[in-house]
Amino acid sequence: MADFNYTAKDFKSENEVRWCPGCGDYAIMNSVQRTMAEMGIPHEKFAVISGIGCSSRFPYYMSTFGFHTIHGRATAIASGVKTANPDLNVWVITGDGDSLAIGGNHFIHLVRRNINLNLILFNNKIYGLTKGQYSPTSDRGVITKTSPFGTVEDPFVPGQLVLGASGTFFARAVDSNVKHTQQVLKEAAQHEGTSVVEVLQNCVIFNDGIHEQIADPKFRNERQLFLEHGKPMVFGNENEKGLVFDKGKMKVVTIGEDGYTLDDVLVHDAKTADPTLHLALINMCLPDFPVAMGVVRSVEAPVYDQEVVRQIEEVQATRKISKVDELLRSGNTWEVNEPTSSDPIPFFQKKCTLQQD
Amino acid sequence: MKDAKIIELEEVAIRFSGDSGDGMQLTGTLFSDASALFGNDISTFPDYPSEIRAPQGTVGGVSGFQVQFGQKQINTPGDYAHVLIAMNPAAVKANAKFMNPGGTIIFDVDSFNQKNLEKAAFKTEDPFTECDLVDYVKIPVPITSLTRESLKDYGMDNKSVLRSKNMFALGLVCWMFGRPLDYIEGYLKKKFAKKPLVVETNLKVLHDGYNYGMNMQHMTPRYMVHAAAIERGTYRNINGNQATAWGFLAAAEKSGLNLFQGSYPITPATDILTALAARKDLGVKTFQAEDEIAGICTAIGAAFAGNLAITTTSGPGLALKAEALGLSVMAELPLVVVNVQRGGPSTGLPTKTEQSDLLQTLYGRNGESPVVVIAASTPSDCFYYAFLSAKIAVERMVPVVLLTDGFLGNGSEPWRVPSMDELPEIKPRLAKSKDTFKPYKRDEETLSREWAVPGMEGFQHRVGGLEKNINGGVSHDPENHQANTIYRAEKVERVVEMLPKLEVCGDESGDLLVVSWGGTYGHTLSAVREMKMEGKSVSLAHFNFIKPLPKNTEEVFSRFKKIVVCELNMGQFSAYLRDKLPGFTYHQVNKVKGLPFTVLELKQNFNKLLED
Ligand SMILES: Cc1ncc(C[n+]2csc(CCOP(=O)(O)OP(=O)(O)O)c2C)c(N)n1
Ligand code: SF4
């Protein structure tokens, strides 16, 4: 790996950052820039693609190649970028409205195809850019400008969608926890396939404190469970609590009580193909459970862009046609070379045939 | 035995017609290929039912294939068929209106029973009289029972036997037109190489059909059509969709770019995707997206990443792509969008042809959103217009929409295969100097920006759908938006320098100028040619370049007393011309029946205009 000695600063562009003061987007960008600086990949190999929304202004602030596209379609455009040039390191920046409402279709199909890119879903449970309408991740009953009497619809849980679409990588982080986010992003970057990282992001203007119950550093140890592959799933200020799986259900136990020891606590296996426990982790929510943070799932599976290249190479290894000239003359062709026939005229010089009549 | 009647013709149109399960498309294609190999010029037009599972034997389930071939240049599949092969009564009903007066109808008499007559909704037992086909040569042939007889020793099940009926019909028609069977035999042997029984039985039935014609000479007329005099070279049959796909392959090779197609299946455009998906040997990447929006978006992503990017679709699909097409206008990325037009609006007539997406293509997006618009005119020239669309897109950093239609896409004709040396160079506008590069800096002459793609060291920049300043920064500056709006429009107009001038077919000036565009070329040309031979002062100006219009358009129009615009819509091109060149009076001939023009109806309209 070449050493570029980058720092996060090297990934800042000349453009002035225009998010509201205090917006969670700043912290996430900070995490991304630090992660990229440590990847040992030259600037120009990064392509950052976004849709529309506050978060999607992101590419302008990065000194990489960037494409701020249209609402909901960043996933599709990024799929084209990565498939066209698998050498690139592609990042998709998207909001909950962008990827799960208007772009829901492209989102699940990106995940299903397992294209090797990293997607960061900024989940502030609200539409920021259009000034505070509910989003597909807003809780039932929530009051916003477009739901003055409360919504009457249930939210998507992003991780469920990822698993439902046979996703290979899903992780969760909190915007303000830069160190942890960075660690998660690093694992996402290393994963081959579509990595979806949901970041709980605070919108100070339209949804301030929406994740506070979870995110508040004061309660972090009690309310967040930091997953690590191969490690027992424990949490609490003294790591005194743990998860066990009992009669098909997740259960919180206190180590040393009711006969439970550390050995009874489930060990996190992010790499198992079976999604059962991953789904259970994704579904955990306050107040009965801590919220699962970190890499929930990271499994190996064929990667779309690599498969496309592999198939082309395979076909080319035994090909009969390697040039367009050969293609044009392949199959059912016949020769005309009779005394009455004339010399061919290239199409681009052809004149109307009526003149000769 | 009496000698067969021999009819000598310059051109003949045959229509094969039957239930969609009868294999008429294959029969028609094989016959066309055999005729092309024999040295005829040909033009074909498949006519599919739009419902895949229309009940057997009903008019809705009739599948047809018309081929016209001849010794001179053939421009159309023929207005009317000289010969109809009807596998059932529904085929007669569906095709009566496409018959040449006094033509020949060969029909499978076995299938003309009570049940089938009812299915085709005939009221009497005489379908021919009911369809006004009294003065026609009608040849009843017991195709079903003869096929059964022919295969009786093979112990095949009834369904398989009936499936071979089309070979009997094909053999009979080959005899009528003096076509040798060797090409068809070769095809069957190759196609079913792994199923020797299928080869054997098909060949048996084919020969029995041919011999039946020979033995029944007293009742079957024979036709003579001589070979055409054409340019020397290598020829093949090609349909418009395949030609389009191959044109892009040629453009990729010439430009040194990788070809990427992002598309979603839709009739009648799907075959372009099919044709390119098969070309992994040439390194093409095809992406079957989840919908049309993703189709164009993946292509835009590929263009951003430096590929020759295309997306292909048909009417409703173009509607879905509108927003993303606007993005490529704004991001000034090279992209080719192919729209194989079909009957609209909405899902309209999915398997029929029309030219009614022109205004959608020109104007159907939010904001001032100009794109280059090109239209191909014959199945084989789709190759060249696809090639040219790609050249314009990558040399001028502009989206190009290529319009073809169902008639061109599915229709086929023999094509002299060019060599790659005959095609023009393509030089993509790849950025050269990172010291002077600015994302939206424009070339003075063409107004196009440079293409710097991810991976090019030192060229990092941002593009997107928001209005930009020259450095790629977002700009809401009113002066900047006005200036860029004009630049983007002018950039499209300056493409005119790459285009040939509008040509006049026929006399350079005169009484009537026929104006047409896209896939109606063959019909308008034939009509004009026939009227010229009748001594009328009629010429043709056919448009392949719609935006921008050829430089000399106004000058050409001014040399004629009357102008008539012919198109398969209610007057979209004429509306556009009235807007662009308001100084003329535009008469119109319009048709929206899901069918091409007939030469006859065009001539009638033109004659009327000459008399008025
Ligand atoms: C086709 C289209 N429809 C609607 C919009 C308006 N729009 C812009 S952003 C947005 C919602 C963004 O919400 P989210 O993805 O959660 O991003 P945030 O602003 O919260 O970061 C909407 C509805 C648009 N730009 N384009
Ligand atoms: S509106 Fe909310 S999401 Fe948007 S920039 Fe402001 S704080 Fe951030």
CATH number of A8-227+273-307: 3.40.50.970
CA dist., res. B350 & res. B332, Å (int): 32
Q: Is the pLDDT of residue B218 over 60?
A: no
Nearest Cβ partner of B460 from A44, A84, A311?
A44
Three-state DSSP at B333 gives coil
Q: Is 80 exceeded by the pLDDT of residue A215?
A: yes
Which residue puts its alpha carbon closest to atom 23 of ligand 1?
Answer: A130
CA-closest residue to ligand 1 atom 2: A71
Structure confidence at residue B360 (pLDDT) = 98
CB contacts of A340 in chain B (<8 Å) are: 229
Q: Compute the mean pLDDT over every residue in chain B, rounded to the nearest whole number.
A: 92
Establish whether residue A203 lines the binding site of ligand 2, counting it when its CB lies within 6 angstroms of any ligand atom.
Answer: yes
Per-residue pLDDT tens digits for B344-371: 999 999 999 999 999 999 999 999 999 9
Instruction: Give the domain B236-422 fold.
Output: Rossmann fold (3.40.50)
Q: At B376, is the secondary structure helix, strand, or coil?
A: coil
Share of chain B above pLDDT 90, in %: 72
B74's tokens: 């053939």
CATH superfamily to which B6-224 belongs: Pyruvate-ferredoxin oxidoreductase, PFOR, domain III (3.40.920.10)
Binding site membership of A111 for ligand 2 (Cβ less than 6 Å): no
Mean pLDDT of B44-72: 82
Compute the distance between CA of residue B373 and CA of residue B388 in angstroms, rounded to an integer.
Answer: 11
**Ranges B1-5, B52-56, B544-548, most confident:** B544-548
- Higher pLDDT, residue B36 or B426: B426
DSSP state of A355: G
CA-proximal residue: ligand 2, atom 2 (nearest): A203
Per-residue pLDDT tens for B95-145? 988 888 778 899 999 999 999 999 999 998 889 989 988 878 888 899 999
pLDDT digits (tens, 9 = 90+) for A261-304: 999 999 999 999 999 999 999 999 999 999 999 999 999 999 99
Label residue B4 by pLDDT band (50, 70, 90): very low
Q: Do B73 and A44 touch (CB under 8 A)?
A: no
Span A57-77, average pLDDT: 98
User: Three-class SS of residue B386?
Assistant: helix
pLDDT band at B55 (very low <50, low <70, confident <90, very high): confident
Nearest Cβ partner for A343 among B231, B253, B455: B231
Mean pLDDT of A28-48: 97
| Cα–ligand 1 centroid distance for A138 (angstroms) | 15
Q: Is A189 in the pocket of ligand 2 (CB under 6 A)?
A: no
Q: How many Å apart are CA B64 and CA B78, to the nearest integer?
A: 14
**What is the Cα–Cα distance from B600 to B100, expressed in whole angstroms?**
11
Stretch B186-215: mean pLDDT: 90
pLDDT on residue A336: 79
pLDDT of residue B49: 74
Report pLDDT for B7. 64
Candidates A12, A19, A43, A81, partner chain B, best to mutate (most B CBs within 10 A) = A81
| Tens digits of residue pLDDT in A222-251 | 999 999 999 999 999 999 999 999 888 999
Q: Which fold has domain B504-611?
A: Rossmann fold (3.40.50)
CB contact under 8 Å between B458 and A44, yes or no, is yes
Are B141 and B108 spatial neighbours (Cβ–Cβ below 8 Å)? Answer: yes
Ligand 2 atom with minimal separation from the A54 CA: 4
Q: What is the mean pLDDT of residues B149-176?
A: 90
pLDDT of A328 above 60: yes
Cβ–Cβ below 8 Å for A80 and B300:
yes
B466 touches chain A (CB under 8 A): yes
Identify the pLDDT of residue B57.
86
A75-94 average pLDDT score: 98
Write down the pLDDT at residue B221: 62
Given CB atoms, is B275 within the 8 Å cutoff of chain A? Answer: no
Taking residues A332-346, report their average pLDDT. Answer: 82
Helix (H, G, I), strand (E, B) or coil at B291: coil
- Find which of B184, B290, B502 to mutate to test the A interface (most A CBs within 10 Å of its CB): B290
Q: Is the CB of A17 under 6 A from ligand 2?
A: no
Chain A residues closer than 8 Å to B237 by CB: 332
Residue nearest to atom 3 of ligand 1 (CA): A71
Give, in degrees to the nearest 5, the angle at Cα A11 between A10 and A12: 95
Calpha distance A335→A347 (Å, rounded): 18
Q: Hey, what long-range contacts does A319-324 have (CB within 8 A, 24 or more apart)?
A: A319/B281, A320/B281, A321/B281, A321/B282, A322/B281, A322/B282, A323/B253, A323/B282, A323/B420, A324/B246, A324/B249, A324/B250, A324/B253, A324/B282, A324/B420
Contacts of A74 (CB under 8 A, 6+ apart): A49, A50, A51, A56, A92, A93, A94, A98, A99, A103
Task: Name the token pair of A170.
Answer: 């899903």
What is the pLDDT of chain A when averaged over all its residues?
Answer: 95
Peptide bond into B345 cis (omega under 30): yes
CB atoms B281 and A316 under 8 Å: yes
The number of angstroms, rounded, from the C-alpha of B556 to the middle of its chain's C-alpha atoms is: 27
Ligand nearest to the CA of A20: 2
Same CATH topology for B6-224 and B504-611: the answer is no
Chain B: give the shortest CA distance to residue A138, in Å. 26
Percent of chain A having pLDDT more than 90? 90
Which range has the worst mean pLDDT, A269-278, B157-166, B586-595? B157-166
Q: pTM for the complete prediction?
A: 0.88
> Which of A19, A57, A145, A201 should be mutated for ligand 2, with most atoms under 8 A from CB?
A19
Cβ of A20 less than 6 Å from ligand 2:
yes
Would you state the pLDDT for residue B228? 60
- Which amino acid residue places its CA nearest to atom 20 of ligand 1? A128
Looking at the DSSP bridge assignments, the partners of residue B45 are B66
pLDDT reported for residue B44? 87
- Domain extents in chain A: 8-227+273-307, 232-267
- Residues B598 and A327: their CA atoms lie apart, in Å, by 35
Domain boundaries of chain B, sorted by first residue: 6-224, 236-422, 504-611
Q: Can you tell me whether residue B189 is helix, strand or coil?
A: helix
3-class secondary-structure state, position A241? strand
At B611, which helix (H) or strand (E)? helix B599-611
Question: Are A65 and B258 inside 8 Å of each other by CB?
Answer: no
Q: Is A96 in the pocket of ligand 2 (CB under 6 A)?
A: no
> Looking at beta carbons, which residues of chain B come within 8 Å of A43?
457, 460
Residue B297 and residue B286: Cα distance in Å, rounded?
A: 13
- CA nearest to B75 within chain A: A353
Of A333, A343, A354, the CB nearest to B236: A333
pLDDT tens digit string along B561-572? Answer: 999 999 999 999
Contact list in A for residue B424 (CB cut-off 8 A) is 348
pLDDT band at A1 (very low <50, low <70, confident <90, very high): very low
Show the ligand 1 pocket: residues with CB < 6 angstroms. A 52-55, 71, 95-98, 122, 124, 126-130, 135
Distance B439 CA to ligand 1 centre (A): 26
What's the pLDDT tens digit per position in B482-514? 999 999 999 999 999 999 999 999 999 999 999
Instruction: Give residues with Cβ within 8 angstroms of B324, minimum separation 6.
Output: A70, A73, B293, B296, B297, B300
CB contact under 8 A, A80 and B384: no
